[in-house]
Structure 1
Amino acid sequence: MPELHPWSRYVAVGDSFTEGIGDPDPGAVGGHRGWADRVAEVLGSSTPDFAYANLAIRGRLLQGIIDEQAEAALELRPDLITVSAGGNDIIRPGTDPDEVASRLDGLVGTLSRDGATVVLFTGPDIGATPVLGRLRGKVAIYNENVHAIALRHDAVVADMWALRQLADSRMWAPDRLHFSPLGHHTIARMVLATLNVDNDLEERTLPAAAPRHWREARRDDVSWAREYLVPWVLRRVRHQSSGDGLGPKRPEAVSVIANER
């Protein structure tokens, strides 16, 4: 049984990462589970009347999160807020990580104004990821800004860059943009450790990956580009988002049901 912790109302804001995309679960609210649901389930297991809302929507850019989720989150009177935002901005061509971070700073200032514990995320090290790997420097600059923002606002940093397990391709969904169920599980454990919350989520060690011939890897890259990269680029060109027309999966702070675990 996890130990007691000081939080009773948790609100998660962000994009597809926090919504739980890549971790499909027909038994979960919205059809996706994800790291935030896992964290809420652990926190709720030791605290009576614990409530959880998840306002994240896939595809949201930072400004959309500011405009749509910040005040809505505060209206739920949380004492714990997680915010992962800016990743969709950073991977777009021509964006300035310092400018994106300056808007994140304002968002964190808003979310922390009522005294809630705010948890920020660094981006993962994507150096080994095809195509996106070339953005590694932008992610690193943004991450340094995240640490500085956390210092200014007395926030907590959940450091995905330091989570070296995420370098394993099995931590990622087939689209290579979202995390797999194993990746979400691993991130949930890291978030709980960052909050110094004991938990019963098991560490899952992976056997060594079987070596692959370069021709097989090349075929996989071509297949991935056709199935996932091209549609993603087309949505950007058409100014479309995978989250168009969607609302948050948990707009109200409600109890976390034990059998969701």
Structure 2
Amino acid sequence: MPRRSHSKRSSCLTQHQQRGYAPQIPSIEMKLTSSLKPIIWMAMAMSAAVFAAPISNFTFSAVASSNCQSRPPAGTCPAQTDAEFSVTPGFAWSFNKAVPVSSWLHPDCIWENHKWLTGTRDLTIVSKLKEPVYRAACETGVDPALIMAIIFQESHGMLNIHRTIAPDGSSSNGIMQSDACPSMEGRDPSTISEEEVYGMVRCGTEHFKGNMNEPVKNPTHDPWVALRLYNSGSVALSGDLNDGNGATGHYVVQVANRLRGWTN
């Protein structure tokens, strides 16, 4: 059950671009008039370095979904596996070495691997997950593969998953089991709209983005540290992400496995 910390910033944009389904940054069209050409040319020369700078700090607008590129199809997905790997020692650098972003499956392949584990055989219902994931990814800058893996780790993609109530009375809701997020508990999945699914996905993704940018607990904006924070709210003093610190010890490594084709 996730416990959250909150803040803002994205570190996934460059990785998205390399993998072919990044948010698209709108182009800038400059129209020159004859009277302004000398001034504008000078301004362009002075600002060239700015436009050439890395775009990893690009801030996503909450209404930027219209600027998202249409994603390329996944192509042929590798066969899913029941063999679960471990990452030892469980430090962030170990995960980054063992499970680099370049090795993550396409989000559609993660969905394919889990589509029959969602509690329904109706693919019309299961398909409601896809677009909300890509939409939330575009609007927040969080990698869609990571969002998809978290969903299946938290709820197996069951749209009407029950809430989890903590001893302190707080509630983790929805398909990303995140506090203060919408819950479709008890609903007939066929009546849950794609927009309602998006509400659950966007809320959980915002929580995860906060964990990515926690200034004290995750100053390097590491996704594996963020996963530990998403699940337990803290990292063990040892830095071992396999230490649940009172929560689910295998949480981070199981999300890593889902990113590589494992299902349970």
Q: Give the TM-score normalised by the residue count of structure 2.
A: 0.24
Greater strand fraction, Structure 1 or Structure 2: 1
